[in-house]
Structures are given as structure tokens and as C-alpha cells.
Amino acid sequence: MCTSWSVTVLLLLRRVTPLCSLQYAYNEKLKDWYAAYNKPGAVVEYFKHNNPKEEWVVVLDSDMLLHKAFDPKDLPLERGWAYAGHYDYLIGTDNGLALRHVPEVAPR
């Protein structure tokens, strides 16, 4: 059955190249397991084996949601440097996301 969700996914996959990498949760140097090691390990692995022709590379987790459009030209980006979002959305409800999804609850 073809749902609107699956059509959206198929359209999206024509525009992006997904990456499946090895497991990097174990840090050999520190001798410990930590799931957060996966993303930096996968990014390093990607750039070891790929030289993308695109001007920008966006790294998203499968559980991430973009709640508004962004233009890389509006960000302080420099070639060869990473840029990450500020995760202050976890503090309070002043970023507009809560208001968008639960408008009946006043911001605190």
C-alpha cells in the first residue's frame, strides 16, 4: 500500500544520499560504550571515503525534525568546520515549537 508518508520518503530519497555506517558506540581508546559516539564516528568514516561535490553537507539523525526552513548562507559557516544547532529548545517553551504544536497552552 502506498501511503502519503511512503511517497514523501521516496521523494526525499531522490534528493539525499542516506548513509549507513558501522557501529561506533564502543570507544577503543576509552574502553567504554556510549551511543553518542556513533554520529561523530560515522561522520569521520564518511569523509574518509567520500569527497562530496555539494557545497554543504547536512547531517541529521533519523529522529530529528526540521520545524522551519533554513538557508546555509544565513549561518556562520566556514569550509572545513562543523556547525551545530543550539539545543536550548529543551529549556522552557520560548522557541515557538511548543506554541506550534500545543497552541492552547500558554508559553511559560
CA–CA distance, 104 with 102 (Å, rounded to integer):
5
Length of the chain: 108
Dump pLDDT digits (tens) for 56-78: 888 877 677 777 888 888 888 88
Q: Give the global pTM.
A: 0.54
Whether residue 27 has pLDDT greater than 60: yes
| pLDDT at residue 47 is higher than 60 | yes
Average model confidence (pLDDT) across the chain: 76
Residue 75 to residue 22: CA distance in whole angstroms: 30
